[in-house]
Amino acid sequence: MDKRKLVIGVVVLAVLVPTWYVAAQGEPPSEEIRIDQSVSEIRPLDGPVDAPNKLSPAQVGVIVWVALFVLVGILAGFHRFMDRAARPGSRSEPGAEAAATDGGTPTFPWLQTADRWIVTYEDASDAIEGLVAMGGLTVLTITFAALFTAEYLTLARTQFFGIYTFGMFMSLTGLTVSYYAWFMPHVEVAERRDH
């Protein structure tokens, strides 16, 4: 096992276990406030997944912390997936270093110095798959934004705000990563450093 992954796992557990222990204590009992169903059909505590109706601030903090950690992992995995989809096999090409020395690499005076040089340059693919991915993600972003707005402006149940917001921001993230993967050149730079 990689030592770096083990260290990261130990740090995560060292923070998560004590905070989850505190969160498991719950909060003092209190009276639950309910909406009179004879007046309104709105059920703000209903949702697509059964979940507790009441959480203490400590429990909410731990859940948010874990959710953010999972989100970082999802974004990192998504970024790697899109990079591999747009540039398959580019990391293992044997002629990559030769291309940098035979005059095939463009020059960037603002990037290249006596101690910094371009090792690998891959031009943007501008493939049709990138346009299709960006078009689909744009439609998805607009759809989630419209659902969020409709939920806000109507007497709908407000428990879906989080789902719509998550979908909208993940679609925007996909747009950003798709643009990076298919429509920006990939440049690797080496730099000589004095130690």
Rounded CA-CA distance 161/11 in Å is 32
- For the entire predicted model, the pTM comes to 0.58
- For residues 81 and 124, state if they share a domain: no
DSSP calls for 87-123: STTGGG-TTHHHHHHTT-SPP-TTT--SSEEEEEEE-
Quick check: is 17 in a domain? Answer: yes
Quick check: is 42 in a domain? Answer: no
Domain coverage including residue 72: 1-25+56-85
Q: Is the CB of residue 27 less than 8 Å from the CB of residue 61?
A: no
- For residues 104 and 158, state if they share a domain: yes
User: In this structure, which amino acid lies at residue 78?
Assistant: F
- For residues 104 and 167, state if they share a domain: yes
- For residues 101 and 183, state if they share a domain: yes
**Is pLDDT of 10 > 60?**
yes
Q: With bands split at pLDDT 50, 70 and 90, how would you rate the model's confidence at 168? A: very high
Q: Is the CB of residue 141 less than 8 Å from the CB of residue 157?
A: no
* pLDDT attached to residue 3: 86
- For residues 108 and 181, state if they share a domain: yes
Give the pLDDT confidence of 110-122 residue by residue, as tens digits: 778 888 888 888 8
> Of 170, 182, 183, 188, whose CA–CA distance to 82 is shortest?
182
Averaged pLDDT for residues 73-101? 64
**Is pLDDT of 165 > 70?**
yes
